[in-house]
Amino acid sequence: MPRIAGVDIPEKKKVLFSLQYIHGIGPKVAASILAKTGIDGDRRTHTLTPDELTSISKEIDERYVVEGALRRQVQQDIQRLKDIHCYRGERHRKGLPARGQRTRTNARTRKGRKKTVAGKKGVKG
């Protein structure tokens, strides 16, 4: 498997899609990387020469924040929000949605499994 930016990328897929296995590189960025390096996105990864792999890797290292550095940067941004006690930081701290989504229903991804609360058995009278 070829390694680019410290990540093993699939060799049987097209280069355009293989690059997207790197955290921080999506379709648009992958296309721009290939355009700058002059490599056709429809080629398979295993057909690339070592020089082409090096040029892709160099382009990524020079222009983009990817993988571990990107994950670290995102965590630092979230930690900063928590430290300054802003609304978004408090939502992150409580494990609730931070971007205004409703929580009365849905929001199970952030809140976790349902916690059943005992209700009234029945009102006599």
Q: Which residues of the chain have pLDDT under 70?
A: 122-125
Ramachandran angles phi, psi of 108, nearest 5°: -70, -25
- pLDDT at residue 119, as a whole number: 76
- Distance (Å, rounded) from C-alpha 81 to C-alpha 92? 8
Q: Which residues pair with 8 in a beta bridge?
A: 3
Residue-wise pLDDT tens digits, 78-94: 999 999 999 999 999 99
C-alpha R_g of the chain:
23
Short-list 57, 55, 72, 69, CA closest to 9: 57
